[in-house]
Amino acid sequence: MTKRTIIITGGAGFIGSHVVRLFVNKYPEYRIINLDKLTYAGNLANLRDVEAMPNYRFVRMDICDFEGVLKLMQEERVDGIIHLAAESHVDRSIHDPFTFARTNVMGTLSLLQSAKIYWESLEEGYEGKRFYHISTDEVYGALEFDDTLFTEQTSYNPHSPYSASKASSDHFVRAYHDTYGMPTIVTNCSNNYGPYQFPEKLIPLFINNIRQRKRLPVYGTGENVRDWLYVEDHARAIDLIFHRGKVADTYNIGGFNEWRNIDLIKVIIATVDRVLGNPEGYSLDLIEYVTDRLGHDARYAIDSTKLSRELGWMPSLQFEEGIERTVRWYIDNEAWLRDIATGDYKRYNENK
Ligand code: NAD
Ligand code: DAU
């Protein structure tokens, strides 16, 4: 049985918490260290079910704390890093780009440099090590409203401060492979949805608003297209790629599941109304078209053929089932949403 010690950054966030849960449960022989600063988006309540597991440790740390990260790597003899920590919300990046550059660019560089110094100090060097960086399809820019897809060969063309910062971090990761020989991997995934997503993002925000009879702000005309993947399918892909992906390679991850925002919103409304026992069409009047997001990318769509062909990954859930599960989860876990609205989740974080 191979023993590994892996730092998962951003493990208290949305996708990170699913990755931590998967690894802690699936690999009892591994030591899983969740390194997270606990920004507004970090919520340790996302991990209540695994926090007492013997192979799990939480460390509150900023990825920009280069010396702290290096010391942790040395003390724990870390041999793998799965890097998800980031500022992730496009709207926030439009108002506060500096925070995005700091965490997404400088933070990634700090992790890379810590890993370089520690791994190069070992007799075996980079042998058996892995630095896996989780990125986004947004680095490729925006597609026209046609049938083209982002492939691994698509040139980077980011538009928002968020995607520009993620693009920059991707380049740094690849540079550490090309310059120093660090065994890196980068994956670019499409929009995720599912339980534990911070309710500032479209799907949880709208489920929550419908429940509370609040308005649903649709940016622009609602015709922008996004490609949606259930978060547990992303976590399964990360597991597969961490263990079997080719070093220095890039994989796109997506479910071939494009939706115009307005059509997706109508599916969410219909599902929430049905689950709550409201009459059909009851919440449609909550839709309100508002000023568009600045620089709003028209369409994202990912071609994940390479991942399916080379590693046999396929999304496991049909979208209808994923949305049903997601809506039921947020309705059943009203307390989780309420704790975020009241700020109580921060008290829970402080007590850990
Ligand atoms: P999230 O905002 O829900 O969580 C981010 C986590 O990172 C939080 O727990 C936060 O506390 C932590 N964090 C932020 N700054 C930090 C710092 N300086 N030091 C340590 N921890 C810090 O994000 P998410 O939606 O789960 O996204 C995770 C990763 O996946 C990001 O890198 C994002 O770019 C990428 N991604 C997200 C999606 C998506 O649809 N959500 C799609 C593709 C890729
Ligand atoms: O594509 C992957 C990316 O998906 C990730 O890299 C990002 O971290 C993640 O936040 C997500 O970015 P988006 O900007 O696509 O997600 P968001 O949920 O913010 O918005 C989805 C779409 O819905 C987008 O076209 C903007 C629109 N929208 C969003 C909100 C919050 C609205 O119309 N109204 C809203 O209130």
The predicted-structure confidence for 228-272, as pLDDT tens digits, reads as follows 999 999 999 999 999 999 999 999 999 999 999 999 999 999 999
* 84 Cα–ligand 1 center, Å: 5
Please report whether residue 71 resides in a domain. yes
CA 201 – ligand 2 centroid, Å: 6
What residues are labeled active site? 137-138, 162
Tokens of 316: 């496991």
Residue 34 lies in a domain: yes
Q: What is the pLDDT of residue 151?
A: 98
Which CATH number does the domain housing residue 106 bear?
3.40.50.720
For residue 316, pLDDT over 80 is answered with yes
176 within domain boundaries: yes
CA distance 321 to 251: 25
Atom 10 of ligand 2, nearest CA residue: 89
CB neighbours of 98 closer than 8 A, spacing ≥ 6?
Answer: none
User: Which residues are CB-contacts of 281 (< 8 A; sequence separation ≥ 6)?
Assistant: 269, 270, 273
Whether 116 and 177 have beta carbons less than 8 Å apart is answered as no
Please give the residue range of the domain that contains residue 125. 5-197+228-256+298-317
- Residue 129 CB–ligand 2 contact under 6 Å: no
pTM here is 0.99
In three-state form (DSSP H/G/I as H, E/B as E, the rest C), the secondary structure along 93-161 is HHHCHHHHHHHHHHHHHHHHHHHHHHHHCCCCCCCCCEEEEEEEHHHHCCECCCCCCECCCCCCCCCCH
Q: How many domains does the chain have?
A: 1
Query: Taking 80 as the threshold, does the pLDDT of residue 334 lie above it?
Result: yes
Among all bound ligands, the one having the nearest atom to the CA of 188 is: 1
Res 352 pLDDT > 90: no
Which of 163, 202, 227 for a ligand 2 pocket mutation test, highest count of atoms within 8 Å of Cβ? 202
- The one-letter amino acid code at 171 reads H
Structure tokens at 13: 């966030």
Q: Is residue 132 part of a domain?
A: yes
> Is the distance from the beta carbon of residue 16 to the nearest atom of ligand 1 less than 6 Å?
yes
Decide if 156 is inside a domain.
Answer: yes
For residue 252, CA distances in Å to 37, 78, 98 come to 27, 26, 27
Q: Classify residue 85: in a domain, yes or no.
A: yes
- Atom 3, ligand 2: residue with shortest CA distance: 191
| Residue 303 domain flag | yes
Sorting pLDDT into bands at 50, 70 and 90, what band is 2?
Answer: confident
Neighbour tally for 288: CB within 10 Å? 10
